[in-house]
A and B are shown apart, each in its own frame.
Chain A
Amino acid sequence: MNARHSVMILPQFHEVLMDMEDRNHCEESYSILFKENINLINLLNEHDGDPIPVIMNPLLFCFVSTDEFKTAADSFLHSMLRGEQAEKEKWIHVYSQWMMWNKDLTAAYTKLLEDGKVILVPTSVNSLPLTHYRTSRGLEIQIKVSIECFKRYMGVRPEFFWLPQAAYLPGLDLYLLAEGIEASFISSFSYTFSEKEEEAGVVRSPRGLKLIPVIVRDGVERGNREDSEDIVLLPVKLDGNEMEKVKEFPPSSIRRRLNAPSTLARIGFGYLGMESLAPIIEDEAMKKLRKVHQMEDTLEKVSSNLEKNSPGIHQLTREFISALQGLNESRLEQSHFNRIASHLLDGTEDDHFLHHRKNVNSILSDDLLDAGLPVKDARSPLENEGAVLILSWEYPPNIVGGLSRHVYDLANNLVRKGRKVHVLTARSKDAPPFETVEGVTIHRVHPLHPYEENFFKWVFDLNQSFVQYAHELISQEKITHIHAHDWIVSTSATKLKEYYSLPLITTIHATEHGRNQGIYTELQQKIHNEEQLLTAASDHVIVCSEHMKEEVKSLFTFDAPMAVIPNGVELERLEQSAGNQFGKDHPPYFFSIGRMVHEKGFNTLIRAASILKDEGQKVSFIIAGKGPMLEYYRQQVRNEGLEDIVIFTGFITDEKRNSYLKNCLAVIFPSLYEPFGIVALEAMAFKKAVVASDTGGLKSIVKHEHTGLLFQPDDESNLYSHLQSLLNHPEKSRRLGEVGFRMAQSMFSWERIADQTIHIYEDVLLQAKVEGLR
């Protein structure tokens, strides 16, 4: 052993359990503990020179201060004094000391501190490495209770803290510094390989906690830094032979280390014995870690939910510490903890049991725990009125189709009507994960793999994140019902309904069958199935038109009632937002907009344009929107030689769109399939004649020759003749626009839609209540 090594003692006290149900066993334990303490105190007393650092769990001070301990010590001493002559001398001396300390061993330790014989280094109340707790509460119990005990019995604040097994992890420094600890210890191995710019013998964390390297003496020398001034951690059995073992080394002057220069280092996870690949926790005990974490979670929940004076809150802490004591023997008895916790959380009382547990496990007094772990003032009970949770995969600023805008307007108008609204949607690049906009609380969640290419898988991933997130949300907010929009959120909607017994309202905006005019591929079949599951799980289904009602009814099997609420348009807002910059100087044009997909029927429009051109009409067509068929349409235009009059703009901003709408002759919607067609309503807001195909939702908005003109889907000559009549009679165009505007205003205001939606919410909630009471 190197001469420059110095020693720090880790006394191996007999472990006394907090739980003292077995009184006889307890007395025996106390006798052993008493003898061990006497040995340690003697060793320290006889020592001259620098103070010896000794690691101690301050829980010991609590034990030796109990009447039971004092009684046990007394009777032990008396039996010794009656014993053999050879030993008698010694025990007479001990007895006189014992009387001098007034039967209080903590007085002996205080005296040793005052005399500079010892530096007491507190450690956590349980021996589980602090690197393996999961919550703040768990760590605080281990650190704060220990330090509070120490201060209370020793009358001074500790400068050092011993982490069990010297196990360190970044983040622990924060907790130690918060308690005024200046330095702790890491393994010499950790020290050696921590990233640092110079060797100073002591490293410090970026937060300023100093960490002193130690090696453990276990017979085999395996320090990597043989010639250094390592501190040797010496585990000592207090069996009466401790003296010679300790005398081998000079005591470590850890105070000198504390005041010596240190160097900043990146100190990673480490513990004593890591270099020999010995597990930090035996595998058998490790498998119990889950239970420790569960208890921590419960403690966290209890401490943040309960009022300060809840009886049992401190008992729960004591049961936690007591349960952990068993972990050394791979035994973890949680039943007392669980029983008390469930009463605390349920708000039920079981005074008898609590009283009993307080009798057998109260070494740490309420008073001490109060000082160490002040219970935060309970959160002011949130006066939560019921809120709706809206599930929609898109929400502004993320706009893929009409769904996003619809949900946005619905949510805002519900809030205006005094409703509380939470929207759960997918994360998008330019939006924060959580915000409140116009009173609507928006939660944006990432799937685990946001850039997954398999869409069906992506959807599952998103729903999984929704369900996990909603669990948190539902535990904090009073969610009374769910409103789902379209199949993409089907999994989360149905599962949340199922597991939280929340009523589910679903709006079906479009169906996969309708979008493709049939189900042809495996993916379409899967989506179709999701739509089936969603409608079947719903308590109420909302669709936007009579047409959709028929479609949904014919496609799916479900029992829930169905309501038609036409989609809405904020007319005033649209009018105000329109600029003039686009299309104003353009020669007269018809405007159309939609996703570039087959069912929007732009082929019909191209063919009608071709007829108009042949007729020599000086008019053009501007068609906006993006989609998979954009290039196809552009090619079509070139093939027909219509480049001069038919322009496919691709994606345009809302501002541009409104500007185009404002300055066009009329707006055309040639869809083959269109469940609602919110843009047709928006066109009406600009007082434009709407020429739409006689299909789906369009035909319920447009009344032929009254609020617009209808033509047969896919029939270009029919469309052509309507356009011709508008060109020839500008007065007619103006009149249709005017009537359309008034109709849109009265029929489709968002205010009315919000009212109708709330009406359905109330119906469903009432229904749920009635069923629940039955």
Chain B
Amino acid sequence: MLNEIIKMREQGISFRKIAKELETTVGKVQYQWVKYQKMMGNSEAQSGETKTVMKQTGKRMGRIKKKYSPSGTRKSNGIPGVHDFTITYSTGSRIYCYWTISKAWMDHMKAHFDLEAASPFVLRLYDITSITFNGHNQHSYMDSYVPHSESDWFLNGLKENRSYCMDIGIRIPSGEFVAIKRSNVIHTPRYTRESEFHSLKELKEFEQGRMKEPKWVEHVSTYSYYVMNQGDKT
């Protein structure tokens, strides 16, 4: 049975269809597939690791090192949870974003949601001006579709003086959006006189020492320099 599963899976056929074809249950097909992947994955992972080791240190490392990689020094590449999604400014109204989504995790998602072909990435841009974003309460959002082979993108047409962040994700067969990783937050500059004017109250309170944490946009940014330890100040 396994050979047939592998063959069909490589053709991108969904588990449901494979199960139907082989007159068995989806569960059994998945079990076989996972078992097979585990088998393959282990040997792949090992050879992969060996390769990196060779590149970094020549032949000095013994066998044991290859097998044992304590979690502290593990390379983050290839570990499914470690995605990166960063947005930054190109101009005042154009942004650049780049991402690293682990292939292993994408493969897992495709199996989990039964996606048949290479799905494009969806970049969902949220307008989150003046709110504490909880994943749902955005003012509006805009989707851009990006071929799955891309790993960065430029995006035009942002409004001035607004806060934005982005989710990168995919669209599942039901049409729903599934997010993988959220970006940092950026605030676009104000560049016309017509643009709304916010009160300076928070800034004044901060300046007078009545407020300890900045309440403006840098506050919600994930960029670490915004959270620099005030105690480090000399």
Seen from chain A, the residues whose Cβ lies within 8 Å of a Cβ on chain B are: 131-136, 139, 169-172, 174-175, 177-179, 189-190, 193-197, 206-208, 264-266, 268-270, 274-275, 277-281, 283, 286-287, 289-290, 293, 300, 339, 342-343, 345-348, 350, 446-451, 454, 457, 460-461, 464, 467-471, 474-475, 478-479, 491, 495-496, 498-500, 525, 528-529, 532-533, 536-537, 556-557, 772
Q: Looking at the complex, which one of B83, B105, B200, B224 makes contact with A136 (CB distance below 8 Å)?
A: B224
Q: Looking at the complex, which one of B73, B83, B104, B228 makes contact with A175 (CB distance below 8 Å)?
A: B228
Interface of A is mostly: helix
Taken together as a complex, chains A and B put the C-alpha atoms of A269 and B184 apart, in Å, by 15
Interface of B is mostly: mixed
Taking the complex as formed, is B43 at the interface, i.e. its CB lies under 8 A from any CB of chain A?
no
Interface pair B34/A268, CB less than 8 Å apart:
no
Interface pair B228/A174, CB less than 8 Å apart:
yes
Taking the complex as formed, is B67 at the interface, i.e. its CB lies under 8 A from any CB of chain A?
yes
Seen from chain B, the residues whose Cβ lies within 8 Å of a Cβ on chain A are: 26-28, 30-31, 34-35, 38, 41, 56-57, 60, 67-68, 71-74, 76, 78-84, 86, 88-94, 96, 98, 100, 104-105, 108, 112-113, 134-136, 152, 154, 161, 167, 172, 176, 178-182, 186-193, 195, 197-198, 200, 203-204, 206-207, 214, 216-218, 221, 223-226, 228, 232-234
6 A-B interface contacts by CB (under 8 A) = A135-B224, A264-B207, A269-B188, A270-B92, A495-B81, A536-B35
Smallest distance from the beta carbon of A492 to chain B beta carbons, Å? 9
Taken together as a complex, chains A and B put the C-alpha atoms of A265 and B31 apart, in Å, by 61
Q: Which residues of chain A are near B179, meaning CB under 8 Å?
A: 448-449, 461
- A342 to B, closest residue via Cβ: B56
Known contacts: A266-B198, A345-B73. The answer to whether A468 contacts B82 by CB under 8 A is yes
Interface pair A290/B178, CB less than 8 Å apart:
no
Q: Which of A281, A471, A499 has the most CB of B within 10 A?
A: A499
Taken together as a complex, chains A and B put the C-alpha atoms of A460 and B80 apart, in Å, by 14
Q: Which residues of chain B are near A537, meaning CB under 8 Å?
A: 34
Taken together as a complex, chains A and B put the C-alpha atoms of A404 and B56 apart, in Å, by 46
Taken together as a complex, chains A and B put the C-alpha atoms of A346 and B30 apart, in Å, by 38
Taken together as a complex, chains A and B put the C-alpha atoms of A278 and B94 apart, in Å, by 10
Q: Which residues of chain B are near A174, meaning CB under 8 Å?
A: 225, 228, 233
Interface pair B27/A346, CB less than 8 Å apart:
no
Interface pair A139/B225, CB less than 8 Å apart:
yes
Interface pair B136/A451, CB less than 8 Å apart:
yes
Interface pair A454/B176, CB less than 8 Å apart:
yes
Interface pair A175/B34, CB less than 8 Å apart:
no
Smallest distance from the beta carbon of B175 to chain A beta carbons, Å? 11
Q: Which residues of chain A are near B76, meaning CB under 8 Å?
A: 471
Known contacts: A132-B88, A529-B30. The answer to whether A460 contacts B214 by CB under 8 A is no
Interface pair A178/B223, CB less than 8 Å apart:
no
Known contacts: A135-B225, A170-B217, A529-B30. The answer to whether A195 contacts B90 by CB under 8 A is no
Smallest distance from the beta carbon of A384 to chain B beta carbons, Å? 10
Q: Which residues of chain A are near B216, meaning CB under 8 Å?
A: 170, 266
Smallest distance from the beta carbon of B200 to chain A beta carbons, Å? 6
Taken together as a complex, chains A and B put the C-alpha atoms of A177 and B225 apart, in Å, by 14
Taken together as a complex, chains A and B put the C-alpha atoms of A342 and B216 apart, in Å, by 38
Q: Looking at the complex, which one of B134, B198, B232 makes contact with A178 (CB distance below 8 Å)?
A: B232
Q: Which residues of chain B are near A189, meaning CB under 8 Å?
A: 191
Taken together as a complex, chains A and B put the C-alpha atoms of A384 and B100 apart, in Å, by 31
Q: Which residues of chain B are near A286, meaning CB under 8 Å?
A: 90, 96
Q: Which residues of chain B are near A500, meaning CB under 8 Å?
A: 71, 74, 79
Q: Which residues of chain A are near B79, meaning CB under 8 Å?
A: 471, 499-500
Q: Which residues of chain B are near A446, meaning CB under 8 Å?
A: 134-135
Q: Looking at the complex, which one of A498, A525, A772 makes contact with B68 (CB distance below 8 Å)?
A: A772
